[in-house]
Amino acid sequence: MNAKLYDRMLAQLQLSGYRERTCQSYLKAVQQLQRFCNKPLSKLTQGDLRDYWLACRNDYGWRPATLRISYSGIKFFFSRTLVRNWKLIKEVRFKREQTLPTVMSAGEAKRIICALPTLQSKVFYVTLYSLGLRLLEAITLEVRDIDGERGVVHVRGGKGARDRTIPLPEITRRALRAYYKTHRNKRWIFPAIGHNQFHKCGAATEPVSKTGVQRVLGRTAERLGMTKRVHPHVFRQSYATHMLEANVPIHHVQKLLGHKTLQSTIVYLHVTTMAESHSHERVCQVIQGALS
Please report which confidence band the pLDDT of residue 204 belongs to, taking 50, 70 and 90 as the band edges: confident
Pure H helices in the chain = 3-15, 20-37, 46-54, 64-76, 87-91, 106-115, 119-131, 135-139, 170-180, 210-224, 232-245, 250-257, 262-274, 276-291
Positions annotated as catalytic residues are 134, 159, 233, 236, 259, 268
Measured between alpha carbons, how far is 87 from 163 in angstroms, rounded to an integer? 38
- Check residue 191 and give its pLDDT: 94
CB atoms within 10 A of CB 62: 17
pTM confidence score: 0.70
Please report which confidence band the pLDDT of residue 281 belongs to, taking 50, 70 and 90 as the band edges: low
Mean pLDDT, range 75-101, rounded to an integer: 87
The percent of residues in the chain predicted with pLDDT above 90, rounded, is 63
Parse the chain into domains and list their residue ranges. 3-91, 106-283
Domain 3-91 CATH class label: mainly alpha
Task: List pLDDT tens digits, range 129-150.
Answer: 999 999 999 999 999 999 988 9
For residue 95, the Cα-to-chain-centroid distance in whole angstroms is 20
Q: Please give the CATH topology (third level) of the domain spanning 106-283.
A: hpI Integrase; Chain A (1.10.443)
Q: Which residues of 187-222 are buried (b: 16+ CB within 10 A; e: fewer)?
A: ebbbbbbeeeeeeebeebeebbeeebbeebbeebbe
- The vertex-139 CA angle with 7 and 243, nearest 5°, equals 120
Measured between alpha carbons, how far is 141 from 246 in angstroms, rounded to an integer? 27
Partners of 166 in the beta sheet? Answer: 153
Nearest to 105 by CA among 285, 283, 275, 276: 275
- Check residue 263 and give its pLDDT: 80
- Check residue 196 and give its pLDDT: 43
| 163 close to 169: Cβ distance less than 8 angstroms | no
Nearest to 157 by CA among 135, 174, 137: 137
More confident residue, 272 or 194: 272
Please report which confidence band the pLDDT of residue 23 belongs to, taking 50, 70 and 90 as the band edges: very high
- Check residue 129 and give its pLDDT: 94
Measured between alpha carbons, how far is 184 from 186 in angstroms, rounded to an integer? 6
- Position 275 pLDDT exceeds 90: no
Task: List pLDDT tens digits, range 152-188.
Answer: 999 987 665 578 999 999 999 999 999 999 999 999 9
More confident residue, 286 or 255: 255
Burial class (CB in 10 A: 0-12, 13-18, 19+), 2: exposed
- The vertex-231 CA angle with 228 and 236, nearest 5°, equals 100
Measured between alpha carbons, how far is 234 from 213 in angstroms, rounded to an integer? 14
- Check residue 161 and give its pLDDT: 59
Q: How far is CA 104 from CA 88, 124, 180, 229, 235, in A?
A: 42, 17, 28, 10, 8
- Check residue 197 and give its pLDDT: 45
